[in-house]
């Protein structure tokens, strides 16, 4: 297996990673990506298999775990109690407790408020060219997750800054400055949630934080550290993914055009799934091997990491006909935008609902929406999202 070389911070790659995916997927489903010093799965079959193979997981093997640098302690503490990096039995317990609070009823109850929010945001659109990513794509999921958690909406700007700082830790362009900002924001976020959770314990409300506090499974409940880790994860993942799913999809629609039928009730599900498939917000998710495993021509040893290239899997011609064509009428077929297996995103139903509500309202209110400048993607791989989306109405 000959290692492949491609800097994940190269500007041309960041703007369009799909030719790199196609070239290497055609050679082999799994190849060593030397810039990451690990094998990477390019094909849909390989990514789907690894997502569900219990011989791989997110949690680092105990013998390889290290305390980490002191300056990252606040950030590492939030990670230590996150569902994202847990495996059974800890993952099973956490996910059950979270899902007892994060119910479909609670999510669907937000629909009316989401519709009202979308209209309010559109009412405030300026006449001059403006950034739709900031004015709409960011605000819909951010304010919605604030309301779901029960956090005051006027906290949204601060929560957004904390989230951006923490999420930047997973980017290929990470620096020492990135680490210090993430640690500072994790400490501020944790301090805020400590006091807010204490407030909710004495003054329960009909919100997710209260439901997380009271959730119980087989006599167990979430600890305060687990509550904080869960709230941070839900905010970060709950808005970051939807922001860029909306932004990337709207960019594609405005560049390539669409038929109005895709925004109708009987077409919106297909449109949303095609947006998620065609240009997803997360392109890489890693796993650790927990034993010696031979797969796709590669031998893994315990502790080896593998990169699952979600963006590459979603453009695999073996899984999707004519995959480089954006087709909002495409029959729905499972894509990898939200992962799979045990770690399938718990917020996926909320993200899909936000998109199904936000898109028809936007185009109904703004039928002449057009791009005002060529969009650029940010240098943030393995995330994939725009820096801005300048439009006119």
Half-sphere exposure of 178 (CA within 13 A, CB side): 12
| Cα atoms in the 13 Å half-sphere on the side-chain side of 320 | 25
104 pLDDT higher than 90: no
Residues 6+ away with beta carbon under 8 Å from 128: 392
Whether the CB-CB separation of 179 and 281 falls below 8 Å is answered with no
How many domains does the chain divide into?
1
Q: Where are the alpha helices (DSSP H) in 26-131?
A: 44-52, 73-80, 90-101, 104-108, 111-123
pLDDT at residue 197 tops 90: yes
Tell me: the pLDDT tens digits for 51-97?
999 999 999 999 999 989 999 999 999 999 999 999 999 999 999 98
Handedness of CA 31, 34, 39, 40 (dihedral sign): negative
65: which residues sit within 8 A by CB, 6+ positions away? none
pLDDT(208) > 80: yes
Is 217's pLDDT higher than 80? no
Axis crossing angle, helix 348-365 with helix 139-149, rounded to the nearest 10: 130
Is 177 a domain residue?
A: yes
- Confidence band for 237, pLDDT divided at 50, 70 and 90: confident
Q: What pLDDT is stored for residue 47 in this prediction?
A: 98
Position 220 pLDDT exceeds 90: no
pLDDT at 309: 98
Residue 2 above 80 pLDDT? no
List pLDDT tens digits, range 297-339: 999 999 999 999 999 999 999 999 999 999 999 999 999 999 9
pLDDT tens digits, residue range 140-160? 999 999 999 899 999 999 999
In a domain, 31, yes or no: no
Please, which pLDDT band fits residue 382 given cuts at 50, 70 and 90?
Answer: very high
Q: Is there a domain that residue 304 lies in?
A: no
Percent of the chain's residues with pLDDT above 70: 100
Residue 22 has pLDDT above 80, yes or no: yes
Q: Which pLDDT band holds residue 195 (cuts at 50, 70, 90)?
A: very high
Q: What is the mean pLDDT of residues 261-285?
A: 96
Whether 123 maps to a domain, the answer reads yes
- Please name the residues in contact with 337: beta carbons below 8 A apart, sequence gap of 6 or more: 245, 276, 277, 280, 281, 282, 310, 314
Whole-angstrom distance, CA of residue 247 vs CA of residue 240: 11
Tell me the average pLDDT across 94-109. 88
Q: Is residue 93 part of a domain?
A: yes
> What DSSP character marks residue 175?
-
Distances (CA, A) of 314 to 205, 272, 309, 318: 40, 14, 9, 10
**Is the confidence at residue 218, as pLDDT, over 80?**
no
Residue 356 lies in a domain: yes
- Provide the residue range defining the domain that includes 343: 66-279+326-392
For residue 63, with 0-12 CB atoms within 10 Å meaning exposed, 13-18 middle and 19 or more buried, which class applies? exposed
Task: Answer whether residue 207 is part of any domain.
Answer: yes
User: According to the model, what pLDDT value does residue 364 have?
Assistant: 97
**pLDDT averaged over the chain?**
94
Report the percentage of the chain scoring pLDDT > 90.
Answer: 86
Does 98 map to a domain?
yes
Cβ–Cβ < 8 Å for 306, 289? yes
Strand, helix or coil at 29?
A: coil
pLDDT of 235 strictly over 90 = no
- Distance, in Å, from the CA atom of 386 to the CA atom of 374, rounded to the nearest integer, reads 11
Other C-beta atoms closer than 10 Å to the C-beta of 18 total 17
* Residue 262: closest CA among 332, 313, 333: 332
| Alpha-carbon dihedral angle through residues 7, 9, 15, 18, given to the nearest 10 degrees | 30
> What is residue 258's predicted lDDT score, i.e. its pLDDT?
86
Bridge partner residues of 56 (DSSP)? 289
User: pLDDT value at position 274?
Assistant: 98
pLDDT digits (tens, 9 = 90+) for 330-345: 999 999 999 999 999 9
**pLDDT greater than 90 at residue 241:** no
Res 102: pLDDT: 84
Do 97 and 217 contact (CB within 8 A), yes or no?
yes
Judge if pTM exceeds 0.85. yes
Nearest to 231 by CA among 204, 202, 194, 181: 194
Axis-axis angle for helices 268-278, 348-365 (nearest 10): 110
Cβ(4)–Cβ(32) below 8 Å:
yes
Q: What are the strands of the beta sheet with 38-41, ordered from one edge?
A: 30-33, 38-41, 305-309, 284-289, 56-57
Task: Specify the CATH number for the domain of residue 169.
Answer: 1.10.630.10
């Amino acid at each position: 297996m000959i290692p492949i070389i491609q800097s994940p911070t190269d500007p041309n790659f960041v703007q369009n990673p799909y030719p790199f995916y196609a070239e290497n997927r055609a050679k082999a489903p799994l190849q060593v990506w030397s810039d990451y010093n690990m094998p990477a799965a390019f094909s849909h079959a390989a990514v789907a298999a690894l997502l569900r193979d219990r011989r791989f997981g997110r949690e680092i093997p105990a013998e390889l775990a290290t305390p980490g640098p002191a300056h990252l302690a606040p950030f590492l503490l939030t990670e230590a109690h996150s569902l994202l990096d847990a495996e059974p039995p800890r993952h099973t317990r956490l996910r059950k407790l979270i899902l007892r609070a994060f119910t479909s009823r609670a999510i669907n109850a937000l629909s009316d408020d989401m519709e009202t929010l979308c209209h309010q945001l559109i009412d405030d659109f300026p006449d001059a060219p403006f950034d739709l990513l900031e004015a709409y794509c960011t605000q819909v999921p951010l304010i919605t997750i604030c309301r779901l958690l029960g956090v005051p909406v006027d906290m949204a700007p601060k929560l957004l800054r904390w989230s951006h700082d923490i999420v930047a830790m997973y980017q290929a362009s990470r620096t020492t400055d990135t680490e210090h900002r993430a640690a500072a924001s994790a400490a501020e976020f944790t301090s805020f949630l400590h006091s807010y959770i204490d407030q909710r314990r004495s003054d329960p409300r009909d919100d997710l934080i209260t439901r997380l506090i009271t959730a119980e499974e087989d006599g167990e409940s979430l600890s305060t550290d687990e509550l904080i880790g869960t709230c941070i994860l839900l905010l970060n993942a709950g808005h970051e993914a939807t922001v860029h799913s909306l932004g990337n999809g709207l960019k594609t629609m405005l560049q390539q055009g669409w038929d109005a039928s895709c925004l109708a009730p009987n077409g919106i599900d297909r449109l949303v799934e095609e947006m998620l498939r065609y240009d997803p917000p997360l392109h890489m998710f890693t796993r650790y091997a927990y034993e010696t495993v031979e797969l796709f021509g590669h031998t893994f040893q315990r502790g080896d990491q593998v990169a699952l290239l979600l963006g590459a899997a979603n453009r695999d011609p073996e899984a999707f006909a004519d995959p480089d064509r954006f087709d909002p009428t495409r029959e729905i077929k499972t894509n990898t935008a939200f992962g799979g297996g045990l770690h399938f995103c718990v917020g996926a139903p909320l993200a899909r609902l936000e998109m199904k509500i936000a898109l028809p309202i936007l185009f109904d209110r703004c039928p002449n929406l057009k791009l005002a400048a060529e969009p650029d993607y940010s240098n943030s791989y393995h995330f994939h999202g725009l820096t801005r989306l300048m439009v006119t109405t």
